[in-house]
Amino acid sequence: MTAIGTPTPRDPGAHPVLLGATLALVTGLAVLSLFIGISDVSPDRLFGTGEDDRVMQVLLVSRIPRTAAILLAGSALAIAGLLMQIIVRNRFVEPSTAGTTEAASLGFLTVTLLAPGWPLMAKMIVAALFAMAGTALFLRILRFVPLRDAMLVPLVGIMLGGMIGAVTTFIAYRFNLLPSVLAWTIGDFSGVLRGRYELLWFGLGATILAYIAADRFTVAGMGDDFTTNLGLNYAAVMTLGLVLVSVIASVTLVSVGSIPFLGLIVPNLVSLMVGDNMRITVPWVASLGALFVLACDIVGRLIRYPYEVPIGVVVGTIGAAIFLGLLLRSQGRRP
């Protein structure tokens, strides 16, 4: 397995203009997102002589919450992928390739069957616990697998996720909940309204905690022995990362469904630009994650207008192509 936290000589000070341009682009696309949709929402109808109360209501109830959900989910999932790569010390893992998302889905299905009257917050906590257990199982399995090739790690995670997903599908089929499971496994922002996305703010909290503990995660990415020699508790740092990943995966699944490949491709692209020091990469990963999901969501709304392609399909298609490029690039660099 390849170390993720190794510092590189690349200087983050060489890229402040590019980071600023990225944030400006995110802001511009976020504003554009407010005016794209079936309902005609335009600055003229909002602030012109023909001011329309219905248009303002659509903006406040649907468009602004949807845009906020996109930004929160995109940045948080990208950070979750970065944390997973540090925990596993492999560049080709993220929640959807380690069984984390599938375990969260199983947890959400379980609590839906056993306690359907529980509030959404309680269901999110159960999903987070299942996600944590699924990720811990993945890490446990890796200890017994001879990992001579870095690509074996995501393959193990995909097989584990497939097994958990099969159990979830069987239970859902048995209790006539397949449509609900399908809705959880395909990310979609079309149903986001005010009052139905606020759990995603927990993802922002997890992102902030990841930034605060960035130096510890960077050191922990170099391995157990190195971390212990520097006086840090390796197990505690890894546990914190596991909790943050589980929270992000669960709140995203509960709020908007699963968005594949995001946590894999964004950290890798950022690593190519600015290196692997997490203190440096967290702002980049969060910004590019939000930018990527926002751009894909706009494409999904426009490509078959007035119909909408779910964000999970758009991100999965583009992300798979980028993932393939990263794989070919890694294979090409081998001696």
| pLDDT tens, position by position, 147-162 | 666 677 888 888 888 9
| pLDDT tens, position by position, 132-144 | 898 889 888 888 8
pLDDT given at position 51: 55
pLDDT given at position 163: 92
CA dist., res. 166 & res. 114, Å (int) = 19
The model's pTM: 0.84
**Side chain identity at 40, as an amino acid letter?**
D
pLDDT given at position 59: 80
Between the alpha carbon of residue 89 and those of residues 9, 26, 184, 301, 326, the distances in Å are 20, 30, 28, 36, 17
pLDDT given at position 166: 92
Mean pLDDT of the chain: 82
- Does residue 49 surpass a pLDDT of 60? no
Residue 256 tokens read as 């908007």
| pLDDT tens, position by position, 167-188 | 999 999 988 888 878 877 788 8
CA dist., res. 75 & res. 148, Å (int) = 32
Q: 8 falls in which pLDDT band (50, 70, 90)?
A: very low
| pLDDT tens, position by position, 52-79 | 677 778 888 888 899 999 999 999 999 9
CA dist., res. 152 & res. 194, Å (int) = 42
- Does residue 226 surpass a pLDDT of 70? yes
Residue 274 tokens read as 């600015």
- Does residue 9 surpass a pLDDT of 60? no
Q: 7 falls in which pLDDT band (50, 70, 90)?
A: very low
> Which three-class secondary structure state does DSSP give residue 69?
helix
Between the alpha carbon of residue 203 and those of residues 249, 309, 325, the distances in Å are 9, 24, 29
CB-count exposure of residue 179 (10 Å: 0-12, 13-18, 19+): exposed
CA dist., res. 284 & res. 290, Å (int) = 10
**Side chain identity at 139, as an amino acid letter?**
L
- Does residue 194 surpass a pLDDT of 70? yes
- Does residue 44 surpass a pLDDT of 70? no
Residue 318 tokens read as 């583009």
- Does residue 45 surpass a pLDDT of 80? no
- Does residue 294 surpass a pLDDT of 90? yes
Average pLDDT in the 212-233 region? 81
Domains in the chain, please, with CATH?
48-332 (1.10.3470.10)
